[in-house]
């Protein structure tokens, strides 16, 4: 019997992302991955209210991806939301919009759950599973730090620092000037020192020499693509492109010296990410410097890999209200996407059977 397919839709502060995968134990085989930058966190941090246009964009993207999950024969679906959704005073408006537009329930996870899923997802990579890892996931509204080895985690926490959150706060000029760069660098380093190092350093100090720093999420993957100067999303190439501390500093200096139009021309940098990469790179650089790492390795696995494993393991009860899952009707698996309201430009898409997916199978 072939493996059953399951799907996860991840509603983040910056993007909505879909993963359809076949799961066998700890082996996750992506069938289809797609992302749409909806900027749910746009204009959010001044009032902690999600803006109506951002809610509408996000709900439409979720609806589109529900249809894509059906089209790719996913037997079950989990729809989860992270930082902006959990911090929003009008969270209920987002949940209602998603349910009305997509006919699914949105599960808002805590920062601790997000950190746990990130660790479990990264360690689906057999290369990393038995190593002591400090995993850093720079998101749009938060950054997760997880320290552990195997299935034992000694530290996991989500911090209120993310690429979109910082961009909304600093609003650098176009092009940014040296004062913009220094202000951002100083602020991020201070935050890492005061908020992160103070609680993480004791756990890390016991065996830092044997700890490997791993970056996951969109920021890390894009920085690796920029470093390797390749535009196509290639999981194997991304994960084999290390980012040294010097490379991160070099990219910081270059990115913060260019206007937005020129950043959009950089190979490997998706044009729609050319603004938030400024602050995402600042966080990545600060982590390597403040903790004394020579650089970081990149993982393309993370929250969605773990969430789809959980969906598969709980498949018999996936429709229970507390499971955060939806049973998909196979009769609608090939229904056409609904009208122009769902015709959205996607940030990336990767079909089954592409060379990069075959290369990542354990």
Range(s) of the domain holding residue 189: 128-299
| pLDDT one-digit tens code per residue, 151-198 | 889 999 999 999 999 999 999 999 999 999 999 999 999 999 999 999
The candidate with the shortest Cα–Cα distance to 24, out of 312, 335, 323, is: 312
Q: Is the pLDDT of residue 15 over 50?
A: yes
Residue 9 contacts residue 32 (beta carbons within 8 Å): no
Q: Is the pLDDT of residue 343 over 80?
A: no
Number of Cβ within a 10 Å radius of residue 313:
12
| pLDDT one-digit tens code per residue, 72-96 | 999 999 999 999 999 999 999 999 9
Q: End-to-end alpha-carbon separation of the chain, Å?
A: 19
Q: What's the pLDDT score for residue 25?
A: 79
Pairing state between β 152-159 and 5-11: unpaired
Q: What's the pLDDT score for residue 313?
A: 84
Residue 285 contacts residue 248 (beta carbons within 8 Å): yes
Q: Which residue has the higher pLDDT, 341 or 80?
A: 80
CA atoms within 13 A on the CB side of 330: 5
Average pLDDT over residues 323-335: 45
CATH code, 61: 3.30.420.40
* 201 burial level (CB within 10 Å; 0-12, 13-18, 19+): middle
CA 178 to chain centre: 29
What are the φ/ψ torsions at residue 142 (nearest 5 degrees)? -145, 165
Q: What's the pLDDT score for residue 3?
A: 79
Q: Is the pLDDT of residue 306 over 80?
A: yes
Average pLDDT over residues 221-236: 94
Q: Confidence band (pLDDT; 50, 70, 90) for 241?
A: very high
| Co-location of 307 and 294 in the same domain | no
> Is there a domain that residue 179 lies in?
yes
Residue 27 contacts residue 357 (beta carbons within 8 Å): no
Tell me the pTM: 0.86
CATH code, 132: 3.30.420.150
> Is there a domain that residue 65 lies in?
yes
Q: What's the pLDDT score for residue 349?
A: 52
> Is there a domain that residue 117 lies in?
no
Residue 58 contacts residue 98 (beta carbons within 8 Å): yes
């Amino acid at each position: 019997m072939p493996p059953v397919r399951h799907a996860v839709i991840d509603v983040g502060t910056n993007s909505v992302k879909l993963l359809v995968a076949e799961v066998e134990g700890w082996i996750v085989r992506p069938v289809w991955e797609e992302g749409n930058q909806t900027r749910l966190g746009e204009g959010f941090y001044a009032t902690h209210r999600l803006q109506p246009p951002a809610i509408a964009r996000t709900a439409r993207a979720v609806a589109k991806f529900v249809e894509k999950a059906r089209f790719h024969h996913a037997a079950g679906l989990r729809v989860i939301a992270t930082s902006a959704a959990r911090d929003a005073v009008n969270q209920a408006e987002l949940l209602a919009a998603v349910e009305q537009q997509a006919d699914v329930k949105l599960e808002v996870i805590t920062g601790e759950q997000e950190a746990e899923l990130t660790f479990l997802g990264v360690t689906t990579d057999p290369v990393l599973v038995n190593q002591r890892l400090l995993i850093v996931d720079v998101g749009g509204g938060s950054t997760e730090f997880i320290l552990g080895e195997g299935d034992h985690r000694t530290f996991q926490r989500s911090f209120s620092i993310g690429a979109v959150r910082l961009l909304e706060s600093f609003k650098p000029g176009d092009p940014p000037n040296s004062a913009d760069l220094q202000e951002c660098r100083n602020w991020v380093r201070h935050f890492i020192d005061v908020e992160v190092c103070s609680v993480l350093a004791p756990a890390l100090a016991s065996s830092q020499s044997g700890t490997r720093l791993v970056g996951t999420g969109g920021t890390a993957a894009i920085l690796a693509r920029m470093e390797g100067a390749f535009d196509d999303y290639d999981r194997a190439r991304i994960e084999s492109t290390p980012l040294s501390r010097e490379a991160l500093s070099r990219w910081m200096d270059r990115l913060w010296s260019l206007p937005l139009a020129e950043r959009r021309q950089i190979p490997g940098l998706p044009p729609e990410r050319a603004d938030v990469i400024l602050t995402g790179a600042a966080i990545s650089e600060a982590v390597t410097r403040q903790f004394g790492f020579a650089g970081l390795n990149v993982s393309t696995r993370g929250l969605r890999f773990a969430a789809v494993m959980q969906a598969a393991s709980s498949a018999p009860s996936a429709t229970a209200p507390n499971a955060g899952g939806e049973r998909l009707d196979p009769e609608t698996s090939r229904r056409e996407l609904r009208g122009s309201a769902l015709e959205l430009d996607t940030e990336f898409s990767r079909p089954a059977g592409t060379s990069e997916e075959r290369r990542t199978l354990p």
